[in-house]
Amino acid sequence: MIIVYVIDNYGEFSNGTTVTAKRSKEKLEAKGHTVRIVSAGNFQGEGYYQLKKRRIPIVSYVAAKQKTYFAKPDKNIFNEAFKDADLVHFFYPFKASRIGVKYAKKMGVPVSSAYHFQPEHVTYGMGLGKFGKPLAWLIYKRLKYRFYNHVKHIHCPSQFIADEIKRLKYKNVAHPITNGVEDIYFTQPDRKKLPKIQILSIGRYALEKRQDTTIKAINKSKYKDQIEVIFAGLGPKKRHLEKLAKRLKVNAKFNFYSQEELIKTIAESTLYIHAADVETEGISALEAIASGLVPIIASSKKAATKQFALDDRSLFKARDYKTLAKKIDYWLDNEEERFKMSESYQNYIRNYGIDNAINLLEEMFKEAIKDKNKELATKTNNGQMIKKHIVKSRIKRIGSTLFYYGIAIPILGLYFYLFRGLRIKGKKHLKHIKGGAVLVSNHIHKLDSVMNALVCFPKKLIFTSIQENFDTPVVGQLINILGATPTPKTVIETKVFFHELSRAIGKGRFVHFFPEGDLKTKDSTIREFKKGAFQLAVENHVPIIPIRILFKEKKHKYGYPFFMKDRIIIKVSKPEYPNIFLLRKDSINDLSERAYTSMIAASQTE
């Protein structure tokens, strides 16, 4: 593939985003791809396209202190860089990217983006701290409408960021892919022979990184006089932090380290502290933990780094320096436990290795290209004809909704609840799902689609059904009126089918599949699953909700429900989420197996 990176300040490798761009570029090129760079950064090299720096009053001045620049869009540069490209990937949602997306689409080139910029970085940079929430919310919304609504696939450096944009009702496909830890960080230092207690903290010297919390905590530690704390980084708060450390008589060093120096410093450290309030991932924390360095991490609502903690001993409430001091003392008191957890942490962080991360990123790029092809397929004459069977006209949608809520659900709901003794267990699992989802259930009754609709009520479910069912007397007419979608048979049907259902999921809709395929009345077993439902869930990074329909014999002959030999029990299992560390094919199989196991287990519990 020919991939184009549009990133404002490539060349200034002092922050996580530019370092990530450089690493992924090198890794992708090692796999045989060509990566071009479009940037305003100070860099020279083959495949580099230079943009001019954009001057924003006050903002550019403050940003330049942190070696951050903004690029000025240039259509001639874009046309030259995007020519013959397979995909253009945008790192920031700023003006160069907004204009760049338009030019890429005009040229017919697929696009993707990243979510490395957290609005909280702006509010904390303004000194607002936690009081900047309203402004941060407005920035999130502005970014959504001005940029991210024009790009479907987003690389999110953590599950936290993916969840955050779903919470804010972004309709994108969020790919939670780590930025990745290089192999050289997975060292094996012997920390049992360290001559001193050295605590390490890596990050830009900025308000949101909260180095002040670490300094205050060490001041309260009973080991204060034995601790040397290293703050690795750069930033505008350096002088302030140096003064604070001096005033509290904390032995602190502030330096920027090369990669080799940082690896050596990590190996010589006893503990790692990450006290940030705001963090999209925290690649520096990953790199430190990769060597087996036990972390203590702030449990902040706006930071992803807390996901790396294996238990509560490595977590403390954000900005609570007294609790942090107690955690420091605990790990220094319990040396053997620290050595034991060191191995556990290193093994866990191997999931975040850069090679696997690049493979996942490569898959995301290919998925964006495939989506472009699916979109083009829907615009062909044949695609338009197929789309009419999937996407109903406005009149049909209104009629379907009225029939759904006004006739079908009330009447059939009454029938199932009153005359079939229907009971739904586990419906609470649906309440916490943010955004879309894929539901799967066994297929053992002609009206089990209605039962699944009752599970989701009042949310209107999108049904999928094999095309033969539409020809079934009465039931066929019913599922058609309810707005069911026929499953595809041809290649172009499959492209349109998945494209349109993905759009629906992006809008927060629930889509239902019968993965067993054919109906087998009152079958007490779970048959082999087809993969379509799980493919849709993995491609859109949404959960699978396994549902088991059971027929339970009555204990007494004349018990409720009357005139029936059995009653119907529906069990809704906990959502199963795609494994973010697995490649697409493996993730589909893994998700299918877990859903299958969950549905088997549902019949064994009351």
- Residue 327 to residues 227, 229, 314, 338, 353: CA-CA distances in angstroms? 14, 15, 7, 12, 28
441, 549 Cβ separation under 8 angstroms: yes
CATH of domain 2-178+358-369: 3.40.50.2000
For residue 475, the model assigns a pLDDT of 66
Regions of the chain where pLDDT drops below 50: none
**For residue 435, what pLDDT is reported?**
86
Q: Do domains 2-178+358-369 and 183-352 have the same CATH topology?
A: yes
Is residue 512 within 8 A of residue 531, CB to CB? The reply is no
Residue type, 236: P
The token pair at 16 is 């996580």
pTM for this prediction: 0.84
CA distances from 576 to 427, 428, 439, 565 (A): 15, 15, 10, 33
- Cβ-in-10-Å burial (0-12, 13-18, 19+) of 135 comes to middle
Distance CA 401, CA 470 (A): 19
Helical segments of 232-391, H only: 238-247, 259-267, 283-289, 321-333, 335-349, 354-378, 381-390
Domain residues of the chain, as ranges? 2-178+358-369, 183-352, 379-602
The superfamily CATH assigns to domain 379-602 is Glycerol-3-phosphate (1)-acyltransferase (3.40.1130.10)
Neighbours of 213 (CB within 10 A): 21
Buried b (16+ CB within 10 A) or exposed e, 471-506: eeeebbebbbebbbbbbbeeebbbbbbbbbbbbbbb
Does domain 183-352 fall into CATH 3.30.70.20? no
DSSP for 571-582, please give it. EEPPPB---TTS
Kindly report, residue by residue over 388-403, the tens digit of the pLDDT: 767 777 887 888 888 8
Question: Backbone dihedral region of 541: left (phi > 0), alpha (psi from -120 to 50 degrees) or beta?
Answer: left
Place of tokens 């290795």: 353
Tokens of 83: 């020519």
CA distance 332 to 223: 8
Rounded to whole angstroms, the Cα distance separating 191 from 512 reads: 53
Q: How much is the pLDDT for 595? A: 96
Specify the residue for token string 């503990």.
271
Question: Quick one: which of 113, 69, 106, 108 has its CA closest to 89?
Answer: 113
**How many whole angstroms separate alpha carbon 94 and alpha carbon 122?**
13
513 bridge partner residues: 440
pLDDT at residue 75, rounded to an integer: 94
448 contact partners, CB below 8 Å, separation of at least 6: 441, 442, 514, 549
